Amino acid sequence: DFDVLIVGGGPAGASAAVYAARKGIKTGIVADRFGGQVLETVGIENFISVKKTEGPKLVASLEEHVKDYDVDIMTGAKASKISKDGMINVELDNGATLSSKSVILATGARWRKMNVPGEAQYSGSGVAYCPHCDGPLFKNKKVAVIGGGNSGIEAAIDLAGIVEHVTVLEFDTKLRADEVLQRKANSMSNITIITQAQTTEVLGDGSKVTGLQYTDRATGSSHQIELSGIFVQIGLMPNSEWLDGDIDLTNRGEIIINDKGETSMEGVFAAGDVTTTPYKQIIIAMGAGATASLSAFDHLIRQVEQ
């Protein structure tokens, strides 16, 4: 049995593990894949105090830091159910059940993909998902944003200040973003918005993106745009399906937490991209992991042994 069991081995989970282990309590971490989204990241330039690093390199440092402490690391297993009977029980897809006095949920999120030819091939060499992370790579270049919801239009406004030109492609007949964001985007001279546009292919020269192809859904005609970057903003999906019904989630599936990282189940905390935190970044996930861990410790020292 654990004092703290962390589910997820990304930046939030790793940070929570180090903070818990430093309290000298029995800490376990179970993860499908250690490293999380960071494993898929090519260049990282906004992890403060490290000017530039790469995803796999940062993951190796995270793992080294966690392994420096007495933490039971279990990878290759996915949590599939949480329940409580005095102890908190986490069932795994391999049939095992882990019990702990407190649990930290840090299962992260995944970006929705367009699933068109070229997208996977050019991911990290023109196809991007995070404007805060990769915007500056496209300084003075032409880019597209796929998706006209709040995150797409926010990304377009953000990028328009850095890049030469932004084309927004929205599948529907109109944008879904808040009115105030739409007004702002329409007022910027280097943003073009195209509605009823279905992206059909990412075009490239074998090493990087050179453009994209889309179908005008109103006429059925096909068009090409030349550009260097494509920001896909069609949704970030929290890895929380397995908690539905047991832990309170928003209608978008994010775990609802308060300032201390507490969830709706007593003794269960959450951190990082899987939660309602408004910004999804490595440094923010790490801070949240620390918060959740300190809150779990605070909870444990208030428990009286029966």
- Chain positions contacting ligand FAD, by CB under 6 A: 7-13, 30-34, 36-38, 40-41, 44, 46, 78-79, 106-109, 111, 129-130, 133, 239, 242, 272-273, 280-283, 285
Amino acid at 90: V
- Of 82 and 197, the one with the shorter C-beta distance to ligand FAD is 82
CA nearest 185: which of 143, 152, 146?
Answer: 152
For ligand FAD, which is the closer residue by CB, 84 or 223?
84
Closest distance of CB 219 from ligand FAD, Å? 34
What is the spatial distance between Cα 157 and Cα 177, in angstroms, rounded to a whole number? 12
Query: Residue 98 Cβ, how far from ligand FAD at the closest point, in Å?
Result: 11
Cβ 36 to ligand FAD, closest distance in Å?
2
Helix ranges (DSSP H) in 98-194 = 131-134, 150-160, 179-187
Kindly state the smallest distance separating residue 17's Cβ from ligand FAD, in Å.
Answer: 11
Q: Residue 215 or 276: which CB sits closer to ligand FAD?
A: 276
* Phi, psi (deg, nearest 5) at residue 78: -110, 135
CB of 8 to ligand FAD, least distance (A): 3
CB closer to ligand FAD out of 225 and 255: 255
Identify which of residues 64 and 305 has a Cβ nearer to ligand FAD in the complex. 64
Neighbours of 39 (CB within 10 A): 14
Contact 81, 93 (CB under 8 A): no
Task: Judge contact between 135 and 163, C-beta under 8 A.
Answer: yes
Distance from C-alpha of 271 to C-alpha of 262, rounded to nearest angstrom:
9
Q: Which residues contact 164 (CB under 8 A, 6 or more apart)?
A: 140, 141, 142, 190
Report whether 6 contacts 108 (CB < 8 A). Answer: no
Which of 19/129 has CB closer to ligand FAD?
129
Q: CB 192 → ligand FAD: shortest distance, Å? A: 25
Displacement of CA 211 from its chain's centroid (Å): 26
On whether the CB atoms of residues 118 and 232 are closer than 8 A, the answer is no
